[in-house]
Amino acid sequence: MGEKILMKGNEAIGEAAIRAGCRFYFGYPITPQSEITAYMAKRLLKMKDAAFVQAESEIAAINMVYGAIATGVRAMTSSSGPGISLKQEGISYIACSELPCVIVNIQRGGPGLGSIQPAQGDYFQATKGGGHGDYHLIVFAPSSVQELVDLTMDAFDLADKYRNPAMILGDGLLGQMMEAVEFKERPKVNLPDKSGWTLTGCKGRKHRYIVPFDLDPRVLEKLNKVLDEKYKRIKEKEVRYEAVNIENADLVIVAYGTVARIVKTVINNAKKEGINIGLIRPITLFPFPEKIIAETASKINKFLVVEMSLGQMIEDVKLAVSGKAEVNFYGRTGGVIPSPVEILEEVKKYL
């Protein structure tokens, strides 16, 4: 513990999951996340009371997760855009059944088969539910390999705490890059006991079932309201963000993940030219850090949202700003990563 090691992002996610107690992984190869699947195979196939299954499809993989987590274990699946689309059916069932698991999306360019280069086009899918029905995932947006590690571990904890699927929304750059990481000693967290709902065989108790439907609309509405109450609690308690240089900034950029890293370079470059840029970096995308954005909007009148998409998170930023400031947008997509130079040029347009 405490030692820094050089690791590729995707492998770091796998190691973090194992250290978080995940012994069950079900996946399917897809670029640029395949190293997670390979890493889990290498580790879990050698472990006791563990399983790695290369599923026949992404659909099967998420349903294997569904089965495993119903017995109370920690389980994970990972993929990239096209595969995450296939998993949506299962994710919706898991959310409805209120079961905890972690899903990793190492985003690539879309739509369709798209490209295998980094992108952020799956923001809507990740934060607005993704599959059918009213539900949300807890969505983390790491910005470094260290955060891939820390947030993967946190994702397992929060998934258990709220009995809700959690997603790590990375991208091909984070998954493929190597950085020094530390697997820190983590304080013990008190998590709810699972024995009240897991399917383990009904020895010594009444038989129990996990059923993601109810044909009585009033009962189903009630279930939806229970979920909604949970999302409200999550919004109240689990918002995470990083704010850099937002006091007295000429303009505040809102960006997450890979783009936020680039923006930090932009901030330093801009300083040399006497331009004062701030950054709000959401670390959780759901719940979205709307409060800090709203507060900032009452002090700073210019925002620029930068994404590797043609504008998805900007909708949440605009809702938070609520007309109190100007919200501009700059995006590259299809797997193109914006450069610090072009972002600074964009900033200058609004000053």
Partner 1 sequence: MKKVFGRPESLTDVPFTYCPGCHHGTAHRLVAEVLDEFGIREKTIGICPVGCSVFAYLFFNCDVICAAHGRAPAIATGIKRSKPDSIVFTYQGDGDLASIGTAEIVHAANRGENITVIFINNAIYGMTGGQMAPTTLVGQVTQTSPYGRDPKTMGYPIKMSEMLSTIKGATYISRVALTKPAYIVKAKKAIKKAFQVQLDGKGFSMVEILSTCPTNWGLSPVEASKWLEENMIPYYPLGEFRTPEEVA
Binding-site ranges for partner 1 (CB under 8 A):
24, 26, 51, 53, 55-57, 59-61, 63-71, 73, 75, 89-90, 93, 199-204, 207-213
Sheet of 24-27: strand order equals 51-54, 24-27, 75-79, 102-107, 166-171, 138-140, 284-286
Output the smallest distance, CB 229 to partner 1, in A: 23
Quickly count: other Cβ atoms within 10 Å of residue 245's Cβ: 16
Residues 6+ apart with CB under 8 A from 250: 275, 276, 277, 302, 351
- Closest distance to partner 1 from the beta carbon of 70 (Å): 5
Interior/surface letters 106-142, b for 16+ CB within 10 angstroms, e for the rest? bbbbbeeebbbbbbbbbbebbbebbbeeebbbbbbbb
Question: Coil, helix or strand for 199?
Answer: coil
When the beta carbons of 180 and 202 are compared against partner 1, the nearer one is 202
Q: How many CA atoms lie within 13 A of 247 on its CB side?
A: 0
Amino acid present at 234: I
For residue 21, the minimal CB distance to partner 1 (Å) is 13
Shortest Cβ 24–partner 1 spacing (Å) = 5
Which of residues 1 and 211 has its CB atom nearest to partner 1 in the complex?
A: 211
Minimum separation from the CB atom of position 99 to partner 1 (A): 10
Task: Give the nearest distance from C-beta 109 to partner 1 in angstroms.
Answer: 27
**Cα gap 29→58, rounded to integer Å:** 9
CA gyration radius, the chain:
20
Q: What is the DSSP letter of 25?
A: E
DSSP sequence for 93-147 = HHHHHT---EEEEEEBS-STT--SSB--TTHHHHHS-SSSSS---EEE---SHHH
Nearer to partner 1, 192 or 201 (CB): 201
CB 165 within 8 A of CB 101: yes
Q: How far is the CB of 259 from partner 1 (least distance, A)?
A: 35
- In terms of C-beta density within 10 A (0-12 exposed, 13-18 middle, 19 or more buried), how is residue 275 classed? middle
Query: Which residues are 244's β-sheet partners?
Result: 279
Cβ proximity to partner 1: between 214 and 247 the closer is 214
Say how far apart CA 267 and CA 253 lie, in whole Å.
9
Q: With respect to partner 1, which residue has the nearer C-beta, 22 or 300?
A: 22
- For residue 94, the minimal CB distance to partner 1 (Å) is 10
The letter for the amino acid at 329 is F
CB of 79 to partner 1, least distance (A): 15
